[in-house]
Amino acid sequence: MNAPRSALNVLAGAALLVGTPALCVPAPVSAAPALTPSRDERVVQALLAAQEAAGSADAAALGDALRVIDRSGARPMEGWTGADPVPAWRALVPAAAGSPLRGSPLGPGYRSGQIGAGKSDSFQQVFLSGRKASIALSAVGGEPLSLRVVDADHKPVCLADAQRRACRWVPVFTQRYLIEVRNGGQSQANYFLVVD
């Protein structure tokens, strides 16, 4: 039985598609609903809010921010030698406002830093194979900071610009990653970074 030529072409095309890996086609750009912030994004925003509340002597807002930090279990990142502002912020919250809750010791790690104009700050962090890795960054004064993560083979894992300062991925191998924060602005920038 002879099939029409157009039917054979369709069958040949379908057979070719079955053996071809799927191609990534970008989704059309649309107004997506706001995503719920991840734990590291909530903590980095709470660190920023705590600094602003401490600067304006707003004990209620400071207490709220500290509760977010403490409930997350956030703590200074291992190996970071900078000054941890959280204990000083806790001392500013009156006992009547209620002491912040202490969270799990396995929560996210945080650090703060300062970067000169056009400069970068970098450090290394181990992430475990098969476990979600997440990093969030906030600039204290809204400076145009960017975030870059590079694996042990110097291959970029994530590049996050000043608009969306967060990286999420699942490492295939347990390894040490380089995390770089770059200041693209014209003045010194202060930042908070949370790794979860």
* Residue 22 included in any domain: no
Q: Domain with 139 in it: what CATH number? A: 2.60.120.380
pLDDT 10s digits, 33-87: 457 788 888 999 999 999 999 999 888 899 999 999 988 888 898 888 888 999 9
The domain of 189 spans 39-195
* Residue 66 included in any domain: yes
pLDDT 10s digits, 96-155: 444 444 433 446 899 999 999 999 999 998 888 888 999 999 988 778 999 999 999 999
* Residue 100 included in any domain: yes
* Residue 156 included in any domain: yes
Give the list of residues 6+ apart from residue 168 with CB closer than 8 angstroms, or none.
Answer: 38, 132, 133, 134, 135, 158
pLDDT 10s digits, 139-177: 887 789 999 999 999 999 999 887 788 999 999 888 899
* Residue 80 included in any domain: yes
Q: What is the Cα–Cα distance from 105 to 50, expressed in whole angstroms?
A: 20
* Residue 74 included in any domain: yes
* Residue 88 included in any domain: yes
Whether 20 shows a pLDDT value over 80: the answer reads no
* Residue 159 included in any domain: yes
pTM over 0.75: no
How many domains does the structure of the chain reveal?
1
Whether residue 149 contacts residue 178, with contact meaning beta carbons closer than 8 Å, is answered with yes
Q: Angle at the Cα of 144 (from 142 to 148), degrees rounded to 5? A: 125
